A and B are shown apart, each in its own frame.
Chain A
Amino acid sequence: ETGVTQTPRHLVMGMTNKKSLKCEQHLGHNAMYWYKQSAKKPLELMFVYNFKEQTENNSVPSRFSPECPNSSHLFLHLHTLQPEDSALYLCASSQDLVNEQFFGPGTRLTVL
């Protein structure tokens, strides 16, 4: 275990649904990240938060909405997704923005 947990581990949703992914880190870190992992593509950075403030939004469509209520929790709110959004969504955390990132196990999302 890396100290980063994600729920749910699997999610199937229709294109009109609204759902949320949750990430929690138990490492006392200050920075948290969302990445998207699709088949045959590199992991893509989506969002970065440092001390609850968003520092990077990597041109992600507005149907993905992040929320970071505190340094230990990170959410990704999903609405009106497309089938091509089906992927493994990974959360990571780090002590600060320059140190190693620890990943959670991911949420496998399928959009029908």
Chain B
Amino acid sequence: GENVEQHPSTLSVQEGDSAVIKCTYSDSASNYFPWYKQELGKGPQLIIDIRSNVGEKKDQRIAVTLNKTAKHFSLHITETQPEDSAVYFCAAKGSGRGGADGLTFGKGTHLIIQP
């Protein structure tokens, strides 16, 4: 099945700086890669996603890049703000067993924005 590795597990950046979180996946047939943000006491919220037919997608301060050849994708947050502090999860949708229907998640990155 699919295996997703996520790094780093904790990332501390100064307010206003950029943050980058990286993930690798194992199933070359995976075709959907969402990123979720989880705040304390809440469920994960989708912040951006990318499909395998594009290499980059941007939404205001958030961008995601995908390298299918290397099987890795990254989340980039620019001009970080205190409200960006949360745990971020990457995920991949595999294609096993005729199309695995759920998401395989990374272990998460605790992003801390220092004022």
Residues of A within 8 A of B (CB): 2, 4, 31, 33, 35, 40-45, 48, 50, 55-56, 58, 90, 92, 97-98, 100-106
Interface size of B by Cβ–Cβ distance < 8 Å?
25
A58 to B44, CA, bound (A): 20
Tell me if B42 counts as interface (CB < 8 A to partner A): yes
Tell me if B45 counts as interface (CB < 8 A to partner A): yes
Number of residue pairs A-B, CB distance < 8 angstroms: 58
Q: Which residue of the partner chain B has the closest CB to A46?
A: B102
Q: How far is the CB of B26 from chain A (nearest CB, A)?
A: 13
B4 touches A42 (CB 8 A): yes
B107 touches A40 (CB 8 A): yes
Whether A50 touches B89, Cβ cut-off 8 Å, given contacts A102-B46, A103-B43, A103-B45, is no
Whether A45 touches B42, Cβ cut-off 8 Å, given contacts A98-B32, A100-B34, A100-B49, is no
> Which residues of the partner chain B approach A43 to less than 8 Å between Cβ atoms?
44, 89, 91, 103, 105
Q: Which residue of the partner chain B has the closest CB to A6?
A: B43
Which B residues, 79 to 112, have Cβ-Cβ distances below 8 Å to chain A?
Answer: 89, 91, 93, 97, 99-108
